[in-house]
Each structure stands twice: as structure tokens, then as C-alpha cells.
Structure 1
Amino acid sequence: MADYPAPHLIDFPKLGVPGIGYISVGENDKDPLPFSVQRVFWTYYTPESIVRGRHAHHRTEQVLVAVAGRIIVTTETADGNIQLFRLEDPNVGLYVPPCAWHTMQYSHTAVQLALASRTYAEDDYIRDYQAFRQQWAPKP
């Protein structure tokens, strides 16, 4: 299996001024995107009591951005390292590597933009936490 960086925050350029607004850009051939984007999707109007995600991927890398509102993302890597990220700035994304279990909880006004390295494939998902632990936990 390829080595991937741990989950981490990515700063996108923030271009503009308060009087006219801002734009942030990510391009496939430049930083800060760590992969070529093959799929884009977004979530919105998620009730605050709902926890989404609850899965890992075999091969897909993602960058998650809260383009509006607040998103709390919890990641767990194969070595058991758990991190909590608070996304609420539209020029900051969270890199989520393959084999990282992740969950998201949203403010009701949150809009999450997800940039993915692969197109959708159901067999890329690990949706059972125990299966994730068995497959990716370090071997003694």
C-alpha cells in the first residue's frame, strides 16, 4: 500500500479585500491540492444532530472544505491516531487520506465541498468500523 500523509489542514489562497469579497483557488497542477480532482460533491441542510461519513476509503483521497457554516471532522488513522478538526473558513480544507476513518457533524447552515481523487465506486468504501480496524490496524 502507498504511503499517504496524515490528515492535515490545507490553506487555499485567499484573494481579495473585504470591500469586494474573496476568491480561493485550487488547481490540479499547483499546490495546495495534493491530487488530481476526479469527483466533486457537496452536502448541505444537514441537521446538527446527524453524524455523517462513518467510513474510510481503500484508495480515494479527499479534501473537505466548509464553504459555509461549521463542520467538525474526526479522523482516525490505521495506527489509531484520532484527530478533531474544526472547519469554518472557506479558504481552509482538510486532507483526508485513504484508510482514514472519518465522521462529520455540521452546523445547519454548513455547506461542505468535497474534492475527491477518484470517481465514485462502492467497493472503495469501508463502511463497517470493525472491518476498518481489522484491515488497517497495525499488525503485532
Structure 2
Amino acid sequence: MTSLARRPVGALIPDLWDMFETSWPFSSRHPMHIEDFVEKGAYVVRAELPGLDATKDIDVSAANGVLTITAKREETTKEQHRTEFHYGSFTRSVTLPAGADAEKIAAKYEKGILEVRVPLAAAPEERKIAIDVQPE
């Protein structure tokens, strides 16, 4: 069982452990957890975004072969509290695989999970290219 300790409001020295709990670049502790996989001819990205209003707090965009999910969670100020929630703006970007059809991306939000589906075109088969040799 985990016990949350209250930190005094306005403490001069912040809890040093908070430094290690924050989202360092390339760490697995990013405030937006995602997973991606290929399923039924589509590249699927799922993001955990509980408690957000999909119409106001979440944005999905695609440009130049990159899918970007941006979300924001606003904090309600409390007088004295401890929180392990992440507040502010969060962004995750993933490179779309070859054959991704960015014009047909669809997204749905259900039970705190955002699911983005990107249809994939059939991968072109490798073909041998003939070399035209010019006489010298």
C-alpha cells in the first residue's frame, strides 16, 4: 500500500524526488503514455488521456509524415495538496510508416483512451531497375 505524504505549501526547497519523477527526455515517465501497432491494414496509435474533453483539450494533426497528439490538463488550485497528476500541455509525435494515408486519418476517444487509425496502402513490391549503358 502506498501512502501519500503532504508537502508543506510554499516550501523553500522542493522535494528532490520530484526532480527524478518528472518527464526527462527519452524517459518512460512521459505524462502521455502511448502505444502503436499495425492492425487490419492500419497503423494505430493509442494514447492514455483520462479525464479530458476530447473536443476542447485534445488535438491531433499530421504533417510531413509525422502524427502529433497534443493535450492539455488545467490544474484547479487547492490550498494544500499533493498531486501526482500531470498538468499543463503535453505533446507526443510519431513518424508515420511508409504507405500511411494521412488524408484518411480517423480518431476516436473512449473511456480515456484516444485511438488514432491511419490507413496503410499496400507496400510496393521491390523491382529491379535496368541500367541503360551508354556507349563511350
Report the TM-score range of the alignment, normalised by the length of the smaller protein. under 0.3
Query: What's the TM-score once normalised by structure 2's chain length?
Result: 0.25
The structure with more strand, counted as a fraction of residues? 1
Q: Which has the higher contact order (CA 8 A, sep 6+)?
A: 1
